[in-house]
Amino acid sequence: MSGRSRTLYPMTRTIAAVLTLVQFAAVLVVAQAPTAQARALPFVSELAQAMSRHDRAAVSEMVRYPLSVNVGGVGIPVNGRAELLRLFDSIFTPDVRCLVDDAVAKGPAAIRVNGGGVTFANGRIRAGDVGGALKITGIDVPPATGAGAPPNPPPRKINVRRGGDVQFAGRLYGDGVDTYVVTLPKGAVVQARIEQFPGRSAAVRVTEQKTGKSLGAAGTTAPRFWAGTIQDAGEYRVEVVRLAPYCQPSFTYLLTISMK
């Protein structure tokens, strides 16, 4: 074997080893990508559910501190859980919630996996691996668009006479619940009906004011109609509950309550 051949042989083995290592790394990245994607989907869904429950404590546990927040081009470091809870409404705004809900609705197509982390909500939320779990590391708060819903109105006291009925019109936003409080005698047969709104966007429920006990039928998810005989005299709450997604437009309804 010539000197030139002896020189090229170790170099060839080195190049082959490097190519094998590169191929192994590529296979490893491809193998890891579905795992990261699989972790990302439940994480985004969990965040959406926590925000829909207004569970600030749960959301704060999904964050790595310090958290990098950008509001209107101004960087705000959030150094701990107590500080996040104090600034919560300015960071996890209704617009952020809408973007998170939209990411859940669109699924994998709305979530990007890159390196050890993911981005979602139109790229405005970043999450990274922290101790084997995904944690939010950065949020770019979008400009306000007016997506936020007004607060629920206070419970409204109403009167219904035997043999008659009353009607009320209302509008539901976001997670809205309109509450009507009525005093009912024992033995009264009462009906409550809601109408003039789209699909299964709302439901009517009746509860005892004092105990909070629901008088609804078990397993009924979106009833437009309730009827029952009052077993105990007292105050009852007739509630019109919005079921439509938070970010969909508001809508009106008509409530009719009758008593015999």
* DSSP per-residue codes, the chain: --HHHHHHHHHHHHHHHHHHHHHHHHHHHHHHHHHHHHHHHHHHHHHHHHHHTT-HHHHHTTEEEEEEEEETTEEEEE-SHHHHHHHHHHHS-HHHHHHHHHHHHHGGGG-EEETTEEEETTTTEEEEEETTEEEEEEEEEPPP-S-PPPPPPPPEEE---TTEEEEEEEEE-TT-EEEEEEEE-TT-EEEEEEESS-TTSEEEEEEETTT--B-SPTT-SS-SEEEEE-SS-EEEEEEEEE-S-TTSPPEEEEEEEEE-
Query: Would strands 177-184 and 164-172 be described as parallel, antiparallel, or unpaired?
Result: unpaired
With 0-12 / 13-18 / 19 or more C-beta atoms within 10 angstroms meaning exposed / middle / buried, residue 101 is buried
CA distance 257 to 241: 15
According to the model, what pLDDT value does residue 36 have?
63
Residues 162 and 136 in one domain: no
CATH number at residue 230: 2.60.120.380
> Among 127, 71, 68, 73, which residue's Cα sits nearest to residue 100?
127
Does a structural domain hold residue 146? no
According to the model, what pLDDT value does residue 217 have?
65
Low-confidence ranges of the chain (pLDDT < 70): 1-37, 147, 217-220
Does a structural domain hold residue 229? yes
Residues 115 and 165 in one domain: no
Residues 248 and 162 in one domain: yes
According to the model, what pLDDT value does residue 216 have?
73
Residues 91 and 194 in one domain: no
Does a structural domain hold residue 148? no
Other beta carbons less than 10 A from residue 74's beta carbon: 8
Residues 44/103, Cβ–Cβ less than 8 Å: yes
Residues 136 and 8 in one domain: yes
> Among 36, 39, 68, 44, which residue's Cα sits nearest to residue 120?
44
Angle at alpha carbon of residue 176, lines to 200 and 149, rounded to 5°: 120
Using a cut of 0.75, tell me whether the model's pTM lies above it: no
Does a structural domain hold residue 149? no
